[in-house]
Structure 1
């Protein structure tokens, strides 16, 4: 009897005493390639430049946590308070990352790509393409993803990411498009809707030619350590089954401190 054809994967090859990630031995990658570079490798198939690795590193740090109020954090700590194990609480937190929380990166990428296509197809300037796009969105009463924040009037993470992208030679057309959207949105709605960290990451993932389908994975990978920290704090600091109010909390950790460079 003929055996069924084997299905294929191009990601990892496993042999006795050998593990190859996209063709590279994992023991050769260890200690020589950063985790962000390894993420790029496993997702895109090739090792990135050092500069791209640095930018992805900054992107992952940028969204590592945002306090105890985000829905993913609240979901995770409520599940942890029930006595569920870490993997269950973590899964609950991840499942709360969706359209309205953490999910704006993919939508924003798609919108930036639409603007880029308008610019190329119609031979528009960046400003003309953005104006056309915003006009269409106003007609359809749609909201542009990746702009505005409930707390920050100028997202410090966006500023730093764009600064790094410029210094590393990665900032290009999509960063320009995002900044133009921010400028024209303010004129359109009469108030500033700053590029938030989701919008910044979206622009940079476009610069790095990642597909939008992978966009929200970057938020999930970034936020995982923060969720783990909140879950562990819940286990070790509070009694089970407590009432967790979404806004009635305060920070009591270390005071602000500056990073000392060596």
Structure 2
């Protein structure tokens, strides 16, 4: 390859994220040796995505959202699939990839969708629309497209135990002037609207997707990155479950335990 061709290849793969040359590794223009031992993993995530290191409060708020989303038990499709894949002989990396690849619009996408919902409210309100009317209008529009409103209600928890700690951290961040609180206000406005007139009925509170969407939006992450950050978070739980399953000494090839499988289709029956 000629020098000119080398230059064309270098230009083709040029990126602001990293630079690697003999003896040099830079991430967002920071030498890797300066980051090792001084920078946390959460700070590295922020640095690579945003191009600069976060402040301590920003890093703590992002970390809280990532910690909250790591796992929600084997009933979650991504976890269940990873556990089954782990015993199918595909290797740990493929088992993790199996779980991650299930994080789509229906399972894993609600955080991104909720950021879009809250942003729509904040933009319209910022253009002079009355807040309560804007919330009602946007919610009606979303419900006309789907009976599910991303970020609110939960099929298991009456109140998601992750909700209050996360929102309390955002309240503190607003009080400290770290974030402006517009998306937090929008989320609480939606929650209030959804529960209006529901006295005596099951409430519809904000869930983990809504609370983390508030954090990601308040920190300035684009809506698609809300899903990407959730994938990073949940991959920790997927890895842990896949690894645990490899040590069970069994073949987990069905959503049902062997005792519930018909005799003619028991756990020893090869499955194609």
TM-score by length of 1: 0.87
Match of 2:262 in 1: none
Deviation, 1:109, is 0.8
Aligned counterpart in structure 1 of residue 250 of structure 2, from 234, 239, 242: 239
Separation in structure 2 between the aligned mates of residue 23 and residue 199 of structure 1, nearest angstrom: 34
Match of 1:256 in 2: none
TM-score by length of 2: 0.84
Match of 2:264 in 1: none
Query: Do 1:83 and 1:240's aligned partners in 2 also have CA atoms closer than 8 Å?
Result: no
Matches within 5 A, 1:112-127: 112-121=118-127, 123-127=128-132
**Structure 2 CA distance for partners of 1:88 and 1:181, relative to 1, 3 Å:** same
Please give the root-mean-square deviation of Cα atoms over the aligned residues, in Å: 2.1
Matches within 5 A, 1:128-139: 128-139=133-144
Aligned counterpart in structure 2 of residue 207 of structure 1, from 208, 218, 221: 218
Deviation, 1:32, is 1.6
Larger Rg: 2
Separation in structure 2 between the aligned mates of residue 191 and residue 124 of structure 1, nearest angstrom: 30
Deviation, 1:73, is 0.6
Spell out, residue by residue over 1:132-156, the C-alpha distance to the aligned partner (whole angstroms, 9 max, x if none): 2123334445532111111111112
Separation in structure 2 between the aligned mates of residue 57 and residue 86 of structure 1, nearest angstrom: 25
Secondary structure, aligned partner of 2:25: strand
Match of 1:180 in 2: 189
**Structure 2 CA distance for partners of 1:59 and 1:138, relative to 1, 3 Å:** closer
Separation in structure 2 between the aligned mates of residue 225 and residue 139 of structure 1, nearest angstrom: 35
Deviation, 1:198, is 0.8
Number of paired residues? Answer: 246
Query: Do 2:83 and 2:252's aligned partners in 1 also have CA atoms closer than 8 Å?
Result: no
Secondary structure, aligned partner of 2:194: helix
Identify unmatched segments of 5+ residues in structure 2. 260-272
Match of 2:231 in 1: 220
